[in-house]
Amino acid sequence: MTLTALPGIMTEVIDYQRPRILRIYNIYRVILGFFLTILTSGALRDGLLDLNNPQLYEMVSWFYLFINLLIALMLHRGKRDVHLFVLSVLDIFLLGSIFYAAGGAGSGFGNLLLIPVAAGNILLHGRIGLLLAALASLVTIYLTFYLSLASPGEAQSYLQAGVLGGIYFAVALFVQRVSKRLRQSESLASQQAASLASLEKLNQLIIQRMRTGIMVIARRQNVLLANEAAAQMLGKPIIRGMPLDDLAIGLAQRLRQWQDNPSVRTLPFNNHSGGAEITANFKTLTSDEGETVLIFLEDNTQVAQQAQQLKLASLGRLTASIAHEIRNPLGAISHAAQLLSESEHLPAQDKRLSDIIQQQSKRMNRVIETVLELSRRRPSEPQLVDLTLWLEQFADTFGASQPASDHLELEISQPGIMTRMDPNQLNQVIDNLCANALRYSGPEGQPRTIWLKLYIHADSDLPILEVLDHGPGITEEHIGHIFEPFYTTETTGTGLGLYISRELCESNQARLEYEALVPRGSCMRITFAHPRRLV
């Protein structure tokens, strides 16, 4: 903040404090008026005051109390300088009248004018404040002079009146100086408070936008603070004060393990079925609320995604270096086998062997093409996708390219299911899964049906798409290997379809899993990223 903005801040501070100071001043004036009216009683006044004009004193005292009560009730919120100036001038004249009625400087009532002068210089400043001191001095000196004319036989203290005038100016200057310093201190404090509030807001924004989940847990394992990334990882809304056991039992167990032995690294956990694998790290903090624990949550999916990108880059460099070395001899072998099969004198058994060579050469060439396509694959470009609309369009396109005997059934739980994923890569994954589901549902030409089921997971609030078929399913011995590269149970397959599909899903922070259906059938389940995930 620049220095040019400081006067504006000081004005704001003054305006902020003015109602409070004015309220105190009004209370003082009401109390003063009350005590002045008490002294109108002759029984109470005897021995204390020797009034010069008892009737004037009584009238002005009651008027002073009445007008102060009225001002306190009606004008306690006044902030304009003109109101405050008129109020101070009114006080000076009324107290000056009481000063005259009490007998002048010798009565001691001249000291009462110090408060209006001081209050006026607090609420007002500069020349206006000094004008009040000058006005109070003139009133005191004039009334002292007027008393000497009205009562020539009585001695009047001009020196005391002059000293009072000097004191009024001294008080005005002193109050202005002190008020200026206080205003500067308050303005600097306000500036620092605004800076701290801005920094706190910035820190909160940074914490909320961090990909790392941040949580602060109290000593009794209640949540004090959590950012959006932590809520997305745990798959539940986080409310301040909720027990950690209710939010994530796995995280609570690992916190207790860490508290028992901080040197042991805790194992990853899943907060719900289909949720991301999370690693938690802990740090002890000391705050105003006692000893707390700071928890860092890391989504292992993102680490796996980075490793996956490195693996694909390595695979790309490998395939680029050996592609020509393999494809050139392979082309020669295929061409020679083709020429050999065209020979008229080739025995039937040798012709069968030539066909096998050509078939296997084509299969090997498909494997090379697939690997090259994988290595040349562009990085994923996730964008917000309406899965409901996208799936309906895919079903129309896929159904039009299949025989009439094949059927694709859609089951969508609700409209407007959103996620973040590269649409081109999503199309490649779903097309491959649907083709596999049809292939395992029965031979081509016979009626075959597969199902696409789209819904929101109740616990994690994540979109899920299932590709279902009622084929024979995958045997138990093969389930653990179906996502491995080049693993296939068919003689014509490359073993890269499911591998590539899972790679594409992981590069978009989605997960592809297999589940066997009862009594028979297969389910390929994709758990998509949350549409509000940090990208």
Q: What is the CATH number of the domain that holds 393?
A: 3.30.565.10
Kindly report, residue by residue over 38-54, the tens digit of the pLDDT: 877 766 556 566 677 77
Mean confidence (pLDDT) of the chain: 79
Neighbours of 67 (CB within 10 A): 16
**pTM, two decimal places:** 0.44
Domain count for the chain? 4
pLDDT on residue 467: 92
Q: Which of helix, strand or coil describes residue 287?
A: strand
For residue 535, is it within any domain? no
For residue 158, is it within any domain? yes
For residue 293, is it within any domain? yes
> Do 84 and 158 fall into the same domain?
yes
Residue pair 72/26 in contact (Cβ under 8 Å)? The answer is yes
- Structural domain harbouring 265: 209-302
For residue 204, is it within any domain? no
> Do 22 and 143 fall into the same domain?
yes
> Do 360 and 448 fall into the same domain?
no
> Do 357 and 389 fall into the same domain?
no
> Do 24 and 173 fall into the same domain?
yes
Average pLDDT over residues 58-77: 79
> Do 119 and 251 fall into the same domain?
no
Residue 274 in this model has a pLDDT that exceeds 60? no
Q: Which of helix, strand or coil describes residue 492?
A: coil
Average pLDDT over residues 13-34: 76
Dihedral over Cα of 497, 503, 505, 508: its sign: negative
For residue 532, is it within any domain? no
> Do 390 and 277 fall into the same domain?
no
> Do 233 and 190 fall into the same domain?
no
Neighbours of 25 (CB within 10 A): 25
> Do 370 and 392 fall into the same domain?
no
- Given 195, 219, 245, the domain boundary residue is 195
For residue 414, is it within any domain? yes
- Going by pLDDT thresholds of 50, 70 and 90, the confidence category of residue 143 is confident
Residue pair 173/118 in contact (Cβ under 8 Å)? The answer is no
pLDDT on residue 209: 72
Average pLDDT over residues 437-463: 85
> Do 291 and 346 fall into the same domain?
no
- Strand partners for 411: 453
Percent of the residues in the chain that have a pLDDT greater than 70, as a whole number: 82
Kindly list the distances between the CA atom of residue 171 and the CA atoms of 115, 139, 184, 185, in Å, as whole numbers in the listed order.
Answer: 9, 16, 20, 21
Average pLDDT over residues 447-455: 90
> Do 32 and 148 fall into the same domain?
yes
For residue 203, is it within any domain? no
Kindly report, residue by residue over 163-187, the tens digit of the pLDDT: 888 888 888 888 888 878 877 887 8
More confident of the two residues 210 and 262? 262
> Do 398 and 523 fall into the same domain?
yes
**CATH code, 260:** 3.30.450.20
For residue 24, is it within any domain? yes
- Given 320, 354, 375, the domain boundary residue is 375
- Given 172, 195, 218, the domain boundary residue is 195
